[in-house]
Structure 1
Amino acid sequence: MSETCEAANMAMKLGTTLMIKGKIAKDVDRFAINLGEGPEKLGLHFNPRYDQSSIVLNSFDGGWGKEVVVDHLRFARGSEITVIMTFDSDGFKVTLPDLHQITFPNRLGLSQVPYLGVSDGFSITSMKFD
C-alpha cells in the first residue's frame, strides 16, 4: 500500500500552523506526513511506525538525515486523529492528538514549505491553515 496524496504550491510560511485531520487505515504498519519544498527536499518527515511502537522524525535532501525517534505513539490504527504542525523559526512543532508536542529542527533552513505529502494508509478528511 503506497498511495500518496500530495499538495504543492501551499502558502505555508514561517509562523503558519497546519491542522490535518484524517483516518488511519486499520491494517497499516506505518504512515508518513511530509512537509518541504518537494518530495526530494523534506524539512519534516513525520512517520508513526506501529511495527516499532514509535514515531520517527527526519529530513530528506538527497538522502535521509539522522532519525529522531520519539517513544510516544498513543493513537491507534483505524482511528481518526488531528495532527497540528506549526512551522516557525525554531523548526517544526508537531502537536499529537493527546496534545503531546514534539519539536524538530529546521535542518534545511527552509523559509517556506510549499509541499505536503501524505502516504501509506492515512487519508486526510480535512486541512486548515492558521
Structure 2
Amino acid sequence: MSKDKMEIHHMDLKSGMTLKLKGKINDNAHGFTINLGQSPENLDLHFNPRFGENVIVCNSQNGGSWEQEHRDDHICFSPGNEIKLAVTFGEDEFQVKLPDGHQVKFPNRRKCSHLPYCCVEGGFSLTSFKMD
C-alpha cells in the first residue's frame, strides 16, 4: 500500500459544514483512511474502506484508544476508481456520502462542534479538498 499522507492540524471545520474530497484510489490499494478529529490520538471519525474485506470500517479514538467500530458492507468503489466523497459534520452524527449516493452514518460520540485535525492516508491520491 502506498504511504501517501495529507495532514492538516489547523483546519476550521465546524458543525453543519461538509468536507468534500475528490481523488483517485491507487491501482494497488488495499484501502485508505480519512481521519477527522482534535488530534491524531483523538479522532471523532475514522473512515476506513478495506477492499480485502469488502467493508467500510468507521470508528473513533480517544487518547489513542480505539472505541467500538461500526462496519458497513456497502462499498461502491474499488482500486483504480476516481471518486468523490462528502463528509457532513453534524452535531449528532457524521454522514459520509459515497459516490453512488449511499450514506454511511456514524455518531458524533463526543458532541464536538469544531474539528481542527484531518488526515487522508493510504491508497488514495487526493486531487481536491473543499469545505462548505
Give TM-score, length-normalised by structure 2: 0.94
2:77 counterpart residue number = 75
Query: Which AA in structure 2 matches 1:22?
Result: G
C-alpha distance in 2 between matches for 1:77 and 1:114: 29
Any unmatched runs of 5+ in structure 2?
Answer: none
2:11–2:115 Cα contact (<8 Å) kept: yes
Superposed CA offset, 1:91-112 (max 9, x none): 2111000010111001122111
Alpha carbon RMSD of aligned pairs, Å? 1.0
1:15 counterpart residue number = 16
Aligned residues: 130
2:91–2:112 Cα contact (<8 Å) kept: no
More strand by share: 2
C-alpha distance in 2 between matches for 1:43 and 1:122: 20
How does 1:1-130 map onto structure 2 within 5 Å? Answer: 1-62=2-63, 63-130=65-132
Superposed CA offset, 1:24-46 (max 9, x none): 11111111001101111110000
Determine helix, strand or coil for the equivalent of 1:98: coil
Any unmatched runs of 5+ in structure 1?
Answer: none
Give TM-score, length-normalised by structure 1: 0.96
- Aligned-pair CA distance for 1:8: 1.8
- Aligned-pair CA distance for 1:90: 1.6
